[in-house]
């Protein structure tokens, strides 16, 4: 995606935030500045130090189609709510310290955190093969309203770090947020997102028959990710992998 395309999606009041992100990224890349580990506060370090990654990002057995932790060959969640994804991969559970790191990614526009969290995603099992085999990587979109409020899409920042040459930001589009989803039931979330996603008409040929990786920061009930996958499938995607940094575990699994 080119910068002018991205600029069209943003309002002028947030240009400063976007510019700060880009300048921060460029300067840190140029200077390779050390920083404090966001978790243990070790200095000097990368934004996530090696020992914290080893301690908190150990792979666990997960269902291959909904990414909940599962030690059973069959997944009760997928029995009750069949996944429209062909595969689903989560790097970590949505618990400490990742919940704090994701809050920092969302609300502080810190590019070094995006890079560090993408590193955690990339090294989770099955992620590199999924990215290698993908024809197209699409981030979960924010609504235009949410994008104006926040100034950037954290899922897009992760996707760009993971697969800069395959990521396309304007393939999957989203209508306005009809309700804030925190605390909503799975049924309420399904109602809120039904029909909320579509493929840009000019991008349908780029989706048809292709392997797509759909990237997001957090998967809670899966309602949004599943609805986005249905839109990709309706446009003819041949294979869809959901790739998220963190998975909220079912209460019985937590």
CB-wise, 49 or 199, nearer to Zn ion?
Answer: 49
Least distance (Å) from Zn ion to the CB of residue 116? 10
Residue 117 CB-density burial (10 A; 0-12 exposed, 13-18 middle, 19+ buried) = buried
Name 239's Cβ contacts closer than 8 Å, sequence gap at least 6. Answer: 86, 87, 210, 211, 212
Give me the least distance between CB of 64 and Zn ion, in Å please. 7
Query: E-strand spans in the chain?
Result: 87-93, 136-139, 172-174, 197-199, 211-219, 239-247
Residue in 10, 56, 77, 229 binding Zn ion, rule: CB under 5 A: 77
* Least CB distance to Zn ion at residue 68 (A): 5
How big is the site for Zn ion, counted in residues (CB under 5 A)? 11
* Nearer CB in complex with Zn ion: 79/132: 79
CA pair distance 114, 154, nearest whole angstrom:
8
Considering the complex, what minimum distance in angstroms separates the CB of residue 51 from Zn ion?
Answer: 6
Exactly one of 9, 78, 138, 156 binds Zn ion (CB under 5 A); which one?
Answer: 78
The residues with which 243 forms a beta bridge, in sequence order, are 89, 215
Cα distance between residue 26 and residue 104, in whole Å: 19
Distances (CA, A) of 188 to 108, 123, 168, 223: 29, 34, 29, 9
Q: Is 120 in the site for Zn ion (CB under 5 A)?
A: no
Q: How far is the CB of 40 from Zn ion (least distance, A)?
A: 3
Query: Hey, what are 219's tokens?
Result: 């998967």
Mention every residue, 6+ apart, whose C-beta is less than 8 A from residue 208: 235, 236, 237
Touching Zn ion, residues 27-66 (CB under 5 A): 37, 39-40, 42, 49, 52, 63, 66
Q: Nearer to Zn ion by C-beta: 125 or 209?
A: 125
The verdict on 75 binding Zn ion (CB under 5 A) reads: yes
Euclidean distance between CA atoms 195 and 175, whole angstroms: 9
Interaction of residue 138 with Zn ion, rule CB under 5 A = no
By CB under 5 A, residue 113 contacts Zn ion: no
Q: Which is nearer to Zn ion, 78 or 130 (CB)?
A: 78
| Residue 193 to residue 71: CA distance in whole angstroms | 30
Contact (Cβ atoms closer than 8 angstroms) between residue 224 and residue 239: no
| Residue number, 63 or 113, with CB nearest to Zn ion | 63
89 binds Zn ion (CB under 5 A): no
Query: Contact positions toward Zn ion, by CB under 5 A?
Result: 37, 39-40, 42, 49, 52, 63, 66, 75, 77-78
């Amino acid at each position: 995606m080119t910068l002018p395309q991205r600029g069209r999606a943003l309002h002028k009041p947030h240009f400063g935030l976007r510019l700060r992100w880009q300048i921060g990224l460029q300067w840190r890349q140029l200077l390779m500045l050390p920083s404090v580990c966001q978790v243990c506060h070790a200095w000097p370090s990368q934004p996530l130090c090696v020992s914290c990654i080893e301690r908190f990002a150990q792979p666990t057995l997960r269902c291959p189609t909904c990414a909940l932790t599962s030690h059973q060959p069959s997944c009760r969640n997928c029995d009750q709510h069949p996944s429209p994804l062909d595969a689903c991969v989560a790097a970590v559970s949505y618990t400490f310290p990742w919940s704090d790191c994701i809050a920092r990614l969302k609300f502080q526009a810190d590019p070094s955190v995006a890079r560090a969290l993408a590193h955690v995603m990339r090294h989770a099992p099955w992620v590199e093969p999924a990215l290698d085999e993908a024809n197209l990587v699409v981030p979960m979109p924010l609504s235009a309203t949410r994008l104006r409020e926040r100034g950037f899409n954290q899922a897009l920042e992760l996707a760009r770090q993971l697969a800069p040459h395959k990521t396309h930001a304007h393939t999957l589009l989203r209508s306005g947020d009809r309700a804030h989803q925190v605390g909503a039931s799975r049924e309420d979330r399904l109602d809120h997102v039904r029909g909320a996603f579509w493929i840009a008409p000019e991008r349908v040929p780029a989706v048809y028959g292709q392997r797509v990786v759909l990237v997001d920061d957090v998967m809670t009930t899966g309602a949004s990710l599943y609805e986005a996958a249905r839109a990709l499938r309706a446009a003819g995607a041949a294979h869809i992998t959901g790739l998220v940094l963190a998975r909220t575990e079912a209460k019985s699994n937590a």
